[in-house]
Structure 1
Amino acid sequence: MNNDVIAGKWKQLAGKAKAAWGELTDDELTRTEGNAERLAGLIQERYGKTREQAEKEVRDFFDRNP
């Protein structure tokens, strides 16, 4: 899914993202605006994952939620 489509559908996907990464706040998810890099950075920081792990989780999330 391309970044424009993700940003456009982000309000719908934010709830699913909250379920997937419950430690992220609603404000943090809103600020990402569906930007995969920002979301991966938050996941990396909050969950102590490597950049590669966080990016893979985000890619998998967007692939499962077209």
Structure 2
Amino acid sequence: MPSEVLVAIIAFAGTAVGSVGGVLASSRLVNFRLDKIEDKLDKHNHFGDRLTRVETILDIKEEN
């Protein structure tokens, strides 16, 4: 096998491994960020429930 072909195969393998590694790292980071955004959204969505409970507690205290 000529040395040029061997060098080309090694370069291709390095490029492929680097590209796949970059895609996987980027995917992991995007998933991590989406999880954090979902957590914040869940906290925001439960704000109405918490506010209703506080208003109920305050109404009970005002009646006494």
TM-score interval, normalised by the smaller of the two chains: under 0.3
Q: Which has the higher Rg, Structure 1 or Structure 2?
A: 2
More helix by share: 2
Task: Tell me the TM-score normalized by structure 2.
Answer: 0.27
RCO comparison, higher one (Cα < 8 Å, 6+): 1
Task: Tell me the TM-score normalized by structure 1.
Answer: 0.26
